[in-house]
Amino acid sequence: MPGQVSESSIGPSDDTPYVPSWCYKNGPKMCPCGHHEGYHNDAGDCLMHHKCKCSGLPADCLTPIGEL
Ligand SMILES: [Zn+2]
Ligand SMILES: [Zn+2]
């Protein structure tokens, strides 16, 4: 698309998860998209869904908040 700034030039924050893996006591669960649950927002949308084509984090891939 002409005139649009490339997303690849944004920097390291582009692939920083919302919740780092070390925040999970037993480790984060993996989404079928290849990113762990920490990359997904409250709605289950992957931070990098435009790259991995994530269709949403399955409910059974989400650690209950009390187990963090
Ligand atoms: Zn995903
Ligand atoms: Zn993903």
pLDDT digits (tens, 9 = 90+) for 19-59: 999 999 999 999 999 999 999 999 999 999 999 999 999 99
User: Which residue, 31, 32, 35, is CA-closest to 62?
Assistant: 31
Which ligand has its closest atom nearest to the C-alpha of 40? Answer: 1
Helix ranges (H only) for the chain are: 49-52
Report the separation in Å between the CA atom of 5 and the middle of ligand 1, taken as the mean of its atom positions.
25
Q: Which residues surround ligand 1, an ion (CB under 5 A)?
A: 31, 33, 46, 54
pTM of the model: 0.74
